[in-house]
Copies of this chain bind each other. A is one copy, B any other.
Amino acid sequence: MNEINLKPIGIVHSPFREPSGVPKDSTDGMDYTGTVEIFPEYKDGLKDLEGFSHIILIFYFHKSEYSHLTVKPFLDSYLRGVFATRSPHRPNFLGLSVVKLIRIDNNILHIRGIDMIEGTPVLDIKPYIPEFESNEGIKIGWLEGKI
């Protein structure tokens, strides 16, 4: 399988027009609300989603024009492997955010915790289900790490 073709199922409407100033993740973006407009032909797929307080959005960093294998994350002084970061400049321009679902009006999802810019194409939505009972044993490396 050499190439995979995907079609957006919807689009983000955000208070952020440009990548600069966007919260660095959805936790940081908790103060900001926005919407996801799901294209009408996919609306029936939203059934039952309102039962979830949080949802996962997989989206496309449509403003990314290049990718690097190592990047310098926000507030970091070292070059890190791109797969150990959330940089938009990755081999496939895929983004992932967990956002709070406020409500659904027809084909419009009202969300809180937005860290995407206006016009971001959305590729998939999944229910957020906590993976682990506690954070025990979770190690998040490079925050402490040295080069």
Contact = CB atoms under 8 A, between A and B. Distances in A.
A123 to B, nearest CB: 5
Nearest to A2: B7
Contact of A69 (B8, B42, B125, B130): B42
Contact of A138 (B2, B25, B86, B130): B130
A112 interface: no
What is the size category of the interface that chain A forms with chain B?
35 or more
Contacts of A51: 84, 139-142, 144-145
Interface string A1-14: 11111111100000
Give how many copies assemble into the complex.
Answer: 2
Interface in A32-63: 42, 44-56, 58, 60, 62
Main secondary structure of the interface of A (DSSP, over half): loop
Contact of A48 (B3, B46, B52, B81): B81
B94 A145 contact: no
A50 B48 CA distance: 37
Contacts of A27: 131-132
Contacts of A127: 83-86, 140-142
Contacts of A139: 51-54
